Amino acid sequence: KDYPVADFSEYQQVVGDLAPGDRILLQDGVWRDVEFVFTGRGTKAKPITLAAANPGKAIISGRSNLKLAGEYLVVRGLVFKDGYTPSDAVISFRTDKPENPSDYSTIAVNTRLTEVVIDDFSNPDRYETDYWLSVYGKNNRIDHNHFSFKRNKGVTMAVRLDTEHSQENRHVIEYNYFGPRPVLGSNGGETLRIGTSHYSLSDSLTTVAHNYFDHCDGEVEIVSNKSGKNTIKNNVFFESRGTLTLRHGNGNLVEGNAFIGNGVDHTGGIRVINADQVIKNNYLSGLTGSRFGGGLVVMNGVPNSPINRYHQVDNALITGNTLVNVERIIFGAGSDEERSAAPSNSRFVNNTIVNDSKESPFELHDSVKGIDFSGNKVNFAVGDELAGGFEKSNSLNVAAPPLPVTKEQVGVSWYPKYQKSDRFAVAKTVKVKPGTDTLTAAYSELEGAAELVLAEGDYHVAKTILLDKPLIIRGAGQGKTRLTFGRKSLIDLMNGSSVRLQDLSISGARAPDDKANAVIRSDSAPMNKNFALELLGVEVSDLNINKDFDVIKLRKSTFADYVLVSDSSFSNITGSVLKLDSEKDDYGMYNAEYITVKNSQVSNVNGGLMTVYRGGTDESTFGPHVNVDQVTVTKSPAAGAKGNSILLHGVQRAMLQNSRFDNSAPVLVQHTVGGPVIRVKDNDYNHKPLYRVESIVPGMESTFTADNNNFSE
Amino acid sequence: KDYPVADFSEYQQVVGDLAPGDRILLQDGVWRDVEFVFTGRGTKAKPITLAAANPGKAIISGRSNLKLAGEYLVVRGLVFKDGYTPSDAVISFRTDKPENPSDYSTIAVNTRLTEVVIDDFSNPDRYETDYWLSVYGKNNRIDHNHFSFKRNKGVTMAVRLDTEHSQENRHVIEYNYFGPRPVLGSNGGETLRIGTSHYSLSDSLTTVAHNYFDHCDGEVEIVSNKSGKNTIKNNVFFESRGTLTLRHGNGNLVEGNAFIGNGVDHTGGIRVINADQVIKNNYLSGLTGSRFGGGLVVMNGVPNSPINRYHQVDNALITGNTLVNVERIIFGAGSDEERSAAPSNSRFVNNTIVNDSKESPFELHDSVKGIDFSGNKVNFAVGDELAGGFEKSNSLNVAAPPLPVTKEQVGVSWYPKYQKSDRFAVAKTVKVKPGTDTLTAAYSELEGAAELVLAEGDYHVAKTILLDKPLIIRGAGQGKTRLTFGRKSLIDLMNGSSVRLQDLSISGARAPDDKANAVIRSDSAPMNKNFALELLGVEVSDLNINKDFDVIKLRKSTFADYVLVSDSSFSNITGSVLKLDSEKDDYGMYNAEYITVKNSQVSNVNGGLMTVYRGGTDESTFGPHVNVDQVTVTKSPAAGAKGNSILLHGVQRAMLQNSRFDNSAPVLVQHTVGGPVIRVKDNDYNHKPLYRVESIVPGMESTFTADNNNFSE
Ligand SMILES: [Ca+2]
Ligand SMILES: [Ca+2]
């Protein structure tokens, strides 16, 4: 029988008493602040269904979620958007933790979730944790769903094995669209996790097949496999940062997947740990990842490893894989005093590896004696240790095979998938005349992303611009278009905003005599949408009415995809140019992924060019990245003054080059963890030292290098 | 002519072209997001008026403000509430800064603001700065207005003298109701400021008369007089913390005011600095304030003081004042190496001082040779230095005089004034049964403050309670009513909330394995309403699923009026019981005013009993205050471990007494500034040291004392 229901009380009336074959049909409209508990006992032939009467037309929003328990249930066609879950999951395959091993009453088995969309159903606080799917039970099928833009902490889909009810589960996860997962800026940005270290010696027997992972960039692990005997087959990983990681558990099969990096930063492939793993017939192309994030990474283990550390790779079979323009293939990765057990009893056979550069991608970080190499084909020279197992052919060529699954075949047809676009694509250009609050008035008229074009003259902004959309403010040139502002900040970034300032001059001379002013601040409340900040050809001066007056100040739980400063100058400032250090709790969070300053001048800036802080000791993030190129730093802060010209705490990658440091305090590099790559090269300086390096974690490897920096008085 | 206008576009059509005698009448209703610019040139006989058609019925809300320029304008009967100003003032007596000294076109003169209400029109971020009234121009009259509950930073009313247009202004500020100004927790909580140090040698000639200051508790200064020749007369300061401070400027008259403290903490009177001040016929009663916040404080000056420091008191006349039960009258306050100039050429004559205690309130911090004492009457013995000028009479008695103005005479009749009430006065008591989310379900039904009464049994809270009202959760007793929770926190405090937990047990055993969990957190976004937190008879245990799991964690830009823990116990916790240290920017902010823990046990709490942080070096706040009495602290954290059992950074007052510290790390006291009074007495301990004291500011006076603490192994 079909039960059309139009509101939540109708739903509650029918849900208690459903017979096999019954269907609850949610009527079109927005279902706000609803917590569905869907329970029942269907049969294989006659499941019980909860569905949108019209797929995609029942929108679940607000603080809402769905809990399932019973058997032979089907959930179909719902859309979760414009809200977030108040509990620990959007959709949970159980209603409560079961009391004992024989009690299945609170768990869903033989249940299908299909054609469900969860789109940006993200907690507004990016560092509050939840899952979108908490999969318990057995024999559940999750297919043709669409999951995109999870912006807050917590795995998108977690297969959980924490009681016997959910082990050896034989779930099938297939034909799902895992849409973009933006960089989180913390641990907890995995897209799919199967198991946890605690239960990783249990078998899961989960099949993950024909799914499309599209720009899943949350953190270093896209898929974190933490259980045994799973099959991960025929999936596509498209321009996704990170790797499929066989982190815990044995006997998994990784077959027929395609990793298409297209040269995007940090795109990785497969990371192999533990025993009896089979890596077969995968296609990996254009992957730039390094270290644990490389294209193919076979790790070292810890002898007699505790369950949550690294088990030795044993009896691995890596065969029939094709790797094209993969920058790094690493054996013995992570080799150190603790991780001393190199792979054993393993085979690397009949793989084809082609690089346009003709350079070898292999890195051997430990002995490869435990790996049998044979029948592999390459188009470059390999070192002596590998020579026996590789046949080199200069003319070796590989045509790109068809993808195992296409974007069109996954998810649903009636909900749009992600298309790349320019963040600053503006629908509208508006001219703004000089005067007081002409800029704020023009801004308040805008409905979408726009460019405001300012003429020559003086603009005073008496009210902070509360920016909630992408905006370009472009002047007629430095010194020609002059901006002042009368509040603590010129622009506050609200969720959904990004800003480019271009070709203008900004003075702090009319700002109030208050602490912690800034030209641009992120919101004081958490923001879950990442933003971008650009200063192009901007002159900023006289931020000195009070102390700690910064150019850009990012606050807690806010995150920039990038901050770009180019062709700009900064002078007479009591704070910093870039103050990106609000995550001081050492929980592994930080304020910006890519920070670039080039071709710019900085003088008399007491807080220095930048303060970047990424605390914590986990290795879950690729960033922050810093790039300083052709920058002149003068008395910023003055040599001998407290502070640093540049402070990099826990930065994972930095290049400081081709710059001049005159009469300025040193650069301070504080290593925390990971394999940070910090280079200081080709700089001139007239006050010693140019830099200091500290290691927060005693004994940590320092990968700091400095070359060709020239001192002259 | 009268112009009734019903919306903002109608307003804009008529405002440009008004003739003397014209009136714009705002129709009843809510005027949302409107920025009124009201300009015109009326005459003395025929002013131009902007008024509510019906006083109190035109409500201005959202992001709104009002700017005035012209002459003989009248503004009447408007109500600003449910919003805040986007600019630097709610009402400004100028539209822009004038270009030159003869240009009055942007300034309001001879203008009257009357019967206007501004009620809680506060920026949601308590540390964003604005004024409610920015008074420029000359001969303006501000009378019969109602200003209450400014919750964000910035003086409520500022009389500004920054150009000649506004000096010697002869403004009259009278019969206004200055309603409650809650404790701000930072500098910038003054209610009325006249001038700034920069222009303080200019005369203002402002009259402040017959105003009623009701619980104006923002910071140490209620009225900050920073200009010359003002008259402050016949005002009432009712149970207001702080003082009327003659901070800068000479020749001011303070006459006929009543300061009624009723024994409330930190109630003060008059602080005298600079030359030619007359303090006459004031009545001061029941004032508890000390140091710069005392009942009557005559300061020392700095010889040849810069304009922003302390000018010597010279030629002061203090006469005819009556002081009843005023705890401290101080001469030479602030005497130190810098402030070495004692008062000169001054008279303290014919004052009457009566204390029920028969104890002398006088403190002489420097020589009083420059003060002529004569004709004063007291009912207690004074020291030898004062003896000549005082006549003691045991039977001296003073009847309380009528107040110079009553609450009824000020403000408007049609808008309610503040009445004291119990924060936890609950309209409703609801019984809640054991189970999962029975508590959240019961809470979600509540419409106002309530008490939830829990039976014996187990309660699991799977969803964080987002609390936006006062709530009492009362159980059947420790060990009988048992609570667990499944998210990062049990309760998140939103703006407007307060919570009392009573007679129950809370375990963290079912909380997620996540960092920075807490039983109670304040919001991650700024909160402008102060809250209260009480734990009475509560047992908290097993907050140890991950590190940094606190009992109470207060976040940035959130502030508790008080935190009270009594008859409670805490064990096996990886974080702190009270984590009140989110204001680490050293801007002088902090998280709680009064922090009390008594008759409680703390064991195996790695983060210790409390971490309280008040950075910055300004002396604008009375708090934070800490009181620890009869508390047993065991292995919290363990002796030798990192951390402290109690960390007091910049705490202004603390008493740690009658407690036991067993096998615990020491108490750490970090002095920053002010005259902190920290006492550690009558405690037992078995691990040395019991405490360490550090001074952040080199050479600062330490007022730390320790007595009768007993070590035994
Ligand atoms: Ca991770
Ligand atoms: Ca102050």
| Span B667-684, average pLDDT | 89
Asked if the model's pLDDT at residue B54 lies above 70, the reply is yes
C-alpha distance from A99 to closest chain B C-alpha (Å): 13
d(CA A211, CA A407): 9
Whether B96 and chain A come into contact, CB under 8 Å, resolves to: yes
d(CA A573, CA A508): 9
Q: What share of chain A is helix, strand, coil (3-state, %, to 5)?
A: 5, 45, 50
C-alpha distance from A648 to closest chain B C-alpha (Å): 19
| Sole residue written with tokens 């990842």 | A289
Ligand nearest the Cα atom of residue A184: 1
Q: Which residues make up the environment of ion ligand 2, defined by Cβ < 5 Å?
A: B 187, 221, 620
Contacts of A462 in chain B (CB under 8 A): 87-88
C-alpha distance from A658 to closest chain B C-alpha (Å): 33
CA angle B312, B314, B318 (to 5 degrees): 120
Per-residue model confidence (pLDDT) at position B197: 81
Residue B702: pLDDT band with limits 50, 70, 90: low
- Look at residue B581 and give its three-state secondary structure: coil
For residues B683 and B710, is the Cβ–Cβ distance under 8 A? yes
DSSP letter assigned to residue A228:
B
Cβ contact B487–A463 (<8 Å): no
- β partners of residue B570: B540, B602
Per-residue model confidence (pLDDT) at position A445: 94
Asked if the model's pLDDT at residue B269 lies above 80, the reply is yes
Contacts of A525 in chain B (CB under 8 A): 524-526
| Sole residue written with tokens 């990442």 | A530
Q: Rounded mean pLDDT of chain B?
A: 95
Contacts of B436 in chain A (CB under 8 A): 96
| Span B608-634, average pLDDT | 96
Per-residue model confidence (pLDDT) at position A288: 98
The closest alpha carbon to B11, from B47, B52, B57, belongs to: B52
- Percentage of chain B modeled with pLDDT above 90: 91
Q: Which residues contact A19 (CB under 8 A, 6 or more apart)?
A: A1, A48
For residues A241 and A620, is the Cβ–Cβ distance under 8 A? no
Asked if the model's pLDDT at residue B301 lies above 80, the reply is yes
Report the Cα B649 to chain-centroid distance in Å: 20
Residue B435: pLDDT band with limits 50, 70, 90: very high
C-alpha distance from A491 to closest chain B C-alpha (Å): 12
Q: Rounded mean pLDDT of chain A?
A: 95
| Span B68-84, average pLDDT | 98
Whether A664 and chain B come into contact, CB under 8 Å, resolves to: no
Per-residue model confidence (pLDDT) at position A101: 83
d(CA B60, CA A703): 60
CATH assignment of A122-409? 2.160.20.10
CA angle B185, B188, B191 (to 5 degrees): 105
d(CA B139, CA B205): 10
Contacts of B186 in chain A (CB under 8 A): none
Report the Cα A344 to chain-centroid distance in Å: 33
pLDDT tens digits for B247-267? 999 999 999 999 999 999 999
pLDDT tens digits for A506-545? 999 999 999 999 999 999 999 999 999 999 999 999 999 9
Cβ-nearest to A584 among B487, B516, B584: B584
The region of weakest confidence among A477-486, A654-663, B670-679 is B670-679
Contacts of B584 in chain A (CB under 8 A): 584
Per-residue model confidence (pLDDT) at position B397: 87
Output the CA B310–ligand 2 centroid distance in Å: 14
For A438, the enclosing helix (H) or strand (E) is helix A438-444
d(CA B251, CA B312): 13
Ligand nearest the Cα atom of residue B184: 2
d(CA B121, CA B635): 47
Helix residue ranges per DSSP H, A148-220: none
Mutate one of B517, B524, B585 to test the A interface: name it (highest A CB count within 10 A).
B524
- Percentage of chain A modeled with pLDDT above 70: 99
How many CB atoms are closer than 10 A to CB A429?
11
For residues A50 and A87, is the Cβ–Cβ distance under 8 A? no
| Span A191-210, average pLDDT | 92
Look up residue B548 and give its two tokens. 């940094």
Cβ contact B487–A88 (<8 Å): yes
Asked if the model's pLDDT at residue A676 lies above 90, the reply is no
For residues A647 and A612, is the Cβ–Cβ distance under 8 A? yes
Look up residue A240 and give its two tokens. 């996704």
Look up residue A499 and give its two tokens. 């800003």
Per-residue model confidence (pLDDT) at position B671: 87
d(CA A365, CA A62): 50
Residue A699: pLDDT band with limits 50, 70, 90: low
Output the CA A131–ligand 1 centroid distance in Å: 14
Asked if the model's pLDDT at residue B307 lies above 90, the reply is no
Cβ contact B87–A525 (<8 Å): no
Q: Higher-confidence residue: B676 or A161?
A: A161
Asked if the model's pLDDT at residue B697 lies above 80, the reply is no
User: Between A and B, how many residue pairs show a Cβ–Cβ distance under 8 A?
Assistant: 57
Output the CA B619–ligand 2 centroid distance in Å: 8
Cβ contact B436–A96 (<8 Å): yes
Asked if the model's pLDDT at residue A701 lies above 90, the reply is no
pLDDT tens digits for A21-66? 999 999 999 999 999 999 999 999 999 999 999 999 999 999 999 9
CA angle A288, A291, A295 (to 5 degrees): 45
Buried b (16+ CB within 10 A) or exposed e, B212-251: bbbbbbbbbbbbbbbbbbbbbbbbbbbbbbbbbbbbbbbb
DSSP letter assigned to residue A586:
-
The closest alpha carbon to B603, from B547, B646, B664, B659, belongs to: B664
Look up residue B633 and give its two tokens. 């602290």
Output the CA A495–ligand 1 centroid distance in Å: 25
Whether B375 and chain A come into contact, CB under 8 Å, resolves to: no
Ligand nearest the Cα atom of residue B197: 2
Q: Higher-confidence residue: B404 or A102?
A: B404
d(CA B684, CA A506): 60
C-alpha distance from A347 to closest chain B C-alpha (Å): 38
Per-residue model confidence (pLDDT) at position B198: 84
Residue A697: pLDDT band with limits 50, 70, 90: confident
How long is chain B? 713
CB-count burial class (<10 Å; 0-12, 13-18, 19+) for A479: exposed
Contacts of B86 in chain A (CB under 8 A): 463-464
Cβ contact A584–B587 (<8 Å): no
| Span B509-516, average pLDDT | 94
| Span A358-372, average pLDDT | 96
- Look at residue A563 and give its three-state secondary structure: strand
Residue A406: pLDDT band with limits 50, 70, 90: very high
d(CA B362, CA B327): 8
Output the CA A191–ligand 1 centroid distance in Å: 10
Whether A436 and chain B come into contact, CB under 8 Å, resolves to: yes
Asked if the model's pLDDT at residue B440 lies above 70, the reply is yes
For residue B674, CA distances in Å to B220, B292, B654 come to: 12, 10, 13
Whether B27 and chain A come into contact, CB under 8 Å, resolves to: no
Asked if the model's pLDDT at residue B701 lies above 80, the reply is no
Residue A375: pLDDT band with limits 50, 70, 90: very high
Pairing relation of β-strands B58-63 and A207-209? unpaired
Rounded to 10 degrees, the C-alpha dihedral A337/A343/A344/A345 comes to 180
By C-alpha distance, the chain A residue nearest B524 is A525
Whether B92 and chain A come into contact, CB under 8 Å, resolves to: no
pLDDT tens digits for B542-558? 999 998 999 999 999 99
d(CA B143, CA B133): 13
Output the CA A431–ligand 2 centroid distance in Å: 43
d(CA A79, CA A145): 10
Q: Higher-confidence residue: A198 or B68?
A: B68
| Span A212-220, average pLDDT | 98
The region of weakest confidence among A274-283, B613-622, B694-703 is B694-703
Cβ-nearest to B129 among A128, A436, A514: A514
For residues B137 and B109, is the Cβ–Cβ distance under 8 A? yes
Residue B204: pLDDT band with limits 50, 70, 90: very high
The closest alpha carbon to B170, from B157, B156, B159, B162, belongs to: B159
For residues B269 and B293, is the Cβ–Cβ distance under 8 A? no
pLDDT tens digits for A410-460? 999 999 999 999 999 888 999 999 999 999 999 999 999 999 999 999 999
Per-residue model confidence (pLDDT) at position B699: 63
The closest alpha carbon to B218, from B245, B252, B184, B250, belongs to: B184
C-alpha distance from A513 to closest chain B C-alpha (Å): 10
Cβ contact B587–A125 (<8 Å): no
Per-residue model confidence (pLDDT) at position A702: 66
Cβ contact A585–B88 (<8 Å): no
Contacting B residues, span 439-468, partner chain A, CB-CB under 8 Å: 462-464
pLDDT tens digits for B161-197? 988 888 999 999 999 999 999 999 999 999 999 998 8
Strands (E), A433-559: 435-436, 450-454, 457-461, 465-467, 470-474, 481-485, 489-493, 498-507, 518-522, 531-543, 550-553
Whether A488 and chain B come into contact, CB under 8 Å, resolves to: yes
The region of weakest confidence among A654-658, A673-677, B62-66 is A673-677
Q: What is the 3-state secondary structure (H, E, C) of B319-332?
A: ECCEEECCCCEEEE
Asked if the model's pLDDT at residue B393 lies above 70, the reply is yes
Cβ contact B88–A462 (<8 Å): yes
- Look at residue A68 and give its three-state secondary structure: strand
C-alpha distance from A383 to closest chain B C-alpha (Å): 45
